[in-house]
Amino acid sequence: MRVINKNQENNCSDNQSIVSDHCTNNHGHHHHNHIKDAIGSRLLFTLILNLIIPLSQFFGGIYAGSVALISDATHNFSDFIAVFISLIAYRMGKKGATIDNTFGYRRAEIFAALLNASILIVFSIFILREAFHRFSQPEIVSGEVVMCFAGIGILGNGLSAWMLYKDSKHSLNIRGAFIHMLGDFFTSIAVLISGAIMFFVQWYWLDPLLSVMIVVFIFVNAWSILKASVKILMNATPEGIDLQAIQESLSDIQEIIGVHYLHTWQLSSSDIAFSCHLVVEDQLVSHTEKLVEQINHLLLHKFGINHPILQIETKNCGEGSLFCEMSCNGKEKQK
């Protein structure tokens, strides 16, 4: 048996379509660093902005007596904490692989997403508790002040969401922050409308009702991020990946006799790893290089897998099933 993955390094110049961490020339390396630095700058700007917004809304909510504005400020402050954690995780994720951490520190961002989601859920419980208290004992709310500070939230959260939109496509951590900012943007609009209504009519029950709606929105989004983070940390099969479809596609390649012991997992929110055993005719290792190149191309462009690990064999390991046996170690099963 032999693990084959060296062609990803040897054929970088001839096969630009194959993605590999080894396939990086000097220009690409500097361009990649430039993109990374831009992400860090946007996170830092968003961090500062999301400290100013909740502080102003919090004191405005106390002055106006608005629990909706305070709950919006609490949510925005939780976003400050989220972005702060994201920034730390992003800095950690830039570290390369080491002897002790051979995959590097990219999963630090997943831990950050998990922590952020947990914090949001805890904040939601406290906001909900205060909102129900206000239902039983409504308090006078200053509609003018609520409208003023909600306007600050609309401007700040809208700008923050715009800053994070591009990066949210590639990172679960930043995507979570983006969803929060976008949610805060629409929440601030709702608070503004609520303040406008209370300016004309004394519907003070509208304030805690809006708080409950905000909590529901926070909880739903936090729960989705929590589930996605746990799945990645548990090395679960990524969303949209069908192992049986991969097995069938690989089995359709003429040179492959059998495919078994398939595993796929996410190294980070944007990197998908895959490993399997491939049964081929007995031959020189060098003769399998074009086959491995073909498989890597198929996995990347059809299934979005960019970190394949392929083990070449000349006979089935165990019973040759989809998952093989957990005890499979290259030796025949003892009878």
pLDDT in tens, 189-208: 777 877 788 778 777 777 77
pLDDT-derived band at 118 (thresholds 50, 70, 90) equals confident
In this structure, are residues 152 and 124 in contact, taking their beta carbons and an 8 Å threshold?
no
Whole-number Å distance between alpha carbons of 323 and 243: 10
pLDDT at res. 86: 77
User: From residue 2, how far is each of 35, 210, 309, 316 by CA, in Å?
Assistant: 37, 61, 11, 14
Select from 222, 148, 221, 162 the least CA-distant residue to 191: 148
Residues 273, 296: Cα–Cα separation, whole Å: 11
pLDDT tens profile 141-167? 666 777 777 787 788 888 888 888 877
Q: What is the pLDDT of residues 284-329, one digit of tens each?
A: 888 899 999 999 999 999 999 989 999 998 877 665 556 655 445 4
Neighbours of 49 (CB within 10 A): 20
Token duo for residue 319? 């019973």
Contact call for residues 81 and 119 (beta carbons, < 8 A): yes
Percentage of the chain surpassing pLDDT 70? 77
Alpha carbon 157 to its chain centroid, in Å, reads: 20
Q: Please list the alpha-helical segments (H only) found in 65-171.
A: 67-93, 108-136, 143-168
CA 262/CA 243 separation, integer angstroms: 7
On the 0-12 / 13-18 / 19+ scale of CB atoms within 10 A, 72 is: buried
Tell me what the mean pLDDT of segment 52-61 comes to: 78
Nearest-CA neighbor of 246 among 280, 208, 272, 269?
A: 272
Q: What share of the chain is helix, strand, coil (3-state, %, to 5)?
A: 65, 10, 30
Q: Say how far apart CA 122 and CA 157 lie, in whole Å.
A: 21
Q: Is this structure's pTM higher than 0.75? A: no
Q: What is the pLDDT of residue 274?
A: 94
Contact (Cβ atoms closer than 8 angstroms) between residue 165 and residue 78: no
